[in-house]
Structure 1
Amino acid sequence: MPSGAFVGRVVLITGASSGIGRAAARAYAAQGAHLVLAARREELLREVVREVEGLGAQALAVRCDITQAEDVARLMREAEARFGGLDLLINNAGLGLFGPVEALAEEQLRQVFEVNFFALVRVTQAALPLLRRRPGGQIVNVSSVLGHRGLPLLGGYCAAKAAVNMLTESLRAELAAEGISVLLVSPGFTETEFRQTRLHAQGWRQSPSPLKQMSADEVAAAMVKASRKHRRDTVLTLPGRVMVLANRFVPGLFDQVARRMIDRMVQRKGS
């Protein structure tokens, strides 16, 4: 018999083919959940299905580009047909952007906001009717410590994640009376392919981070814990929490620290 805090509950995860999304699929499956897995890379999704089925979960893989309204509508139809509703929505899919603000192309900024913010809104709106069918529904928005504090050369990504943070606060208040909780999980630097797939301003590249990184499995474990305890805001990694606190109490000093930190992580144009 399956056991765990989420036995029989249905969890939809976007960006489920790799990284934090794939780790989250395993973590919720280990707690007894059934899964709707959405991503663009169908072959990788099938691998995740095999992994979670090995843990006893039922799983539905749906190839889905969440920037496309018709794909999102189809995702919800397939989830409804298979499971009849949803208990949890994990808005995990994301896209990074690196480079100084003056060098960012408008097209890049729009693409980053489309994936990180507008698609999150689109998926959430489409999922709400299914979440309302089950008591105790939950939405988990995956943000970043960079949604709490902007860093040099990451302004476009920081702005998109800050928008997610504010949306989460508004949505939390709007849905509270319906018994749907809305949580925010903000990872710090994490060992995933995120840095390889991010966008870059022309001529700019980021060197490997000198900071210790969490594994995707560690982030997923923290996410499941926050989900189980209905913890509204979770900021991960000690450096991440220090950064948020420093920005709150000594923002000028942290501006200097941030500039030095980025200088160690960047390959400038022409280098």
Structure 2
Amino acid sequence: MTNIVITGASAGVGRAVVRRFAETGNNLTLIARNETRLKAAAEEVRKAGGNALIMPLDVADADALDHAADEAEKAFGPIDIWINVAMVTVISPVAKMTPEEYRRVTEVTYLGTVNGTLSALKRFNRRGRGTIVQTGSALAYRAVPLQSAYCAAKAAIVGFTDSLRTELLHDKSNVKITVCHLPAVNTPQFDWARNKMPNRPRPVAPVFDPELIADGIYHAAFHPKREYWLGFSSVKAIMSEKISPAAGDALLARTGYSGQQTDEADDPDRPDNLFKTVEGDWAAEGRFGDEAEESSAAIWTSEHGGSRLFGGAALAMAAIVALGTFAITGPRRG
């Protein structure tokens, strides 16, 4: 059995990744803050024929995360694959953000990834092998309004990972590192993310099923390459930013607010998961299943070595952007 550590394992993309790796009977160490949901995820693993260890902790705590790595190896032997998924975000204009909110998003989404990478790397370097999978985002390359903290954290992951990759190449290491850049995904984050906008938040269309994204991450873990761009919306967002960032700025200024809100008023008193976990029977999927894509030619192409070729085809996006059909715009209201 392959020994795998997954952070953010209790819900959303992380929970879908747990389910995907459980299908092939692996040893999984599941890390997240919510113990109840971790137990539910572990039960899914065991029913699928795998083994599970749960470690309820906050990935912002580097010492706790390193302890979890020790426990994973005590339970299952040397870790083979480490997958960093944990994240938090705030939906808010910059002017309404607080320093504490920026710090928290950075500590979880960026530094949580750094902490996990360091824990994995310490063990992988001793053995001269292992694979690290970072969960990135198209928003690392094409930032959107209302998610400045999250976009910055995902961009930081790219810079950190690119630097580490060159060091591994310099050392001629057999340790592998890959990044999966995600599109908008139908997860519960839009029901528990801190929101300072009047209406309920939503993913920016098109929206993808988390199980499809988990398939891409599963493939990347066993076939690591520099980057995977999951979904054509990710390809278009990344390529259009390279071609015409100013056009993207203008378009997002016009559509980025409405594209991240539904027509329903949000409850200003609902709990959010920024500093404390939100209780509830959440799993992988959110409330946008009716529109979630369950297949993607772009993901297949990326998995089969053609993401750059596919990206090259997107050079035509310069003209498309100018005409206003940009990848990450959502439904426009009024």
Task: Specify if TM > 0.5.
Answer: yes
Q: After TM superposition, list the pairs within 5 Å mapping 1:60-79 onto structure 2.
A: 60-79=53-72
Spell out, residue by residue over 1:190-215, the C-alpha distance to the aligned partner (whole angstroms, 9 max, x if none): 010112222334x5555434613111
Q: CA deviation at 1:81?
A: 1.0
Q: CA deviation at 1:18?
A: 0.8
Spell out, residue by residue over 1:105-153, the C-alpha distance to the aligned partner (whole angstroms, 9 max, x if none): 1110000000011122122212223333555410001011111111122
Are 2:212 and 1:218 equivalent residues in the alignment?
Answer: yes
Relative to 1, partners in 2 of residues 1:42 and 1:148: Cα closer, same or farther, differing over 3 Å? Answer: same
Pick the aligned partner of 2:76 from 69, 77, 83. 83
Counterpart of 2:44? Answer: 51
Counterpart of 1:191? Answer: 186
Counterpart of 2:316? Answer: none
Relative to 1, partners in 2 of residues 1:194 and 1:35: Cα closer, same or farther, differing over 3 Å? Answer: same
Spell out, residue by residue over 1:61-97, the C-alpha distance to the aligned partner (whole angstroms, 9 max, x if none): 1111111234213212211211222111101000112
Distance 1:210 1:247 in 2: 17
Distance 2:226 2:187 in 1: 24
Q: CA deviation at 1:234?
A: 1.2
Counterpart code for 1:180: V
Query: Secondary structure at 2:49's aligned position in 1?
Result: coil
Counterpart of 2:234? Answer: 240
Q: CA deviation at 1:267?
A: 5.7
User: Does the 8 Å contact 1:12/1:88 carry over to 2?
Assistant: yes
Pick the aligned partner of 1:105 from 98, 101, 109. 98
Counterpart of 2:143? Answer: 150
Query: Secondary structure at 2:139's aligned position in 1?
Result: helix
Counterpart of 1:181? Answer: 176
Counterpart code for 1:27: R
User: Does the 8 Å contact 1:139/1:181 carry over to 2?
Assistant: yes
Relative to 1, partners in 2 of residues 1:125 and 1:108: Cα closer, same or farther, differing over 3 Å? Answer: same
User: Does the 8 Å contact 2:146/2:257 carry over to 1?
Assistant: no
Spell out, residue by residue over 1:198-252, the C-alpha distance to the aligned partner (whole angstroms, 9 max, x if none): 2334x55554346131111011001111222213211222122111111111222
CA RMSD of aligned residues (A): 2.0
User: Does the 8 Å contact 1:188/1:214 carry over to 2?
Assistant: yes
User: Does the 8 Å contact 2:3/2:26 carry over to 1?
Assistant: yes
* Unpaired runs of at least 5, structure 2: 266-334
Counterpart code for 2:235: R
Distance 1:33 1:142 in 2: 20
* Unpaired runs of at least 5, structure 1: 1-7
Aligned residues: 261
Q: CA deviation at 1:24?
A: 0.7
Query: Secondary structure at 1:138's aligned position in 2?
Result: strand
Relative to 1, partners in 2 of residues 1:209 and 1:140: Cα closer, same or farther, differing over 3 Å? Answer: closer
Counterpart of 1:3? Answer: none
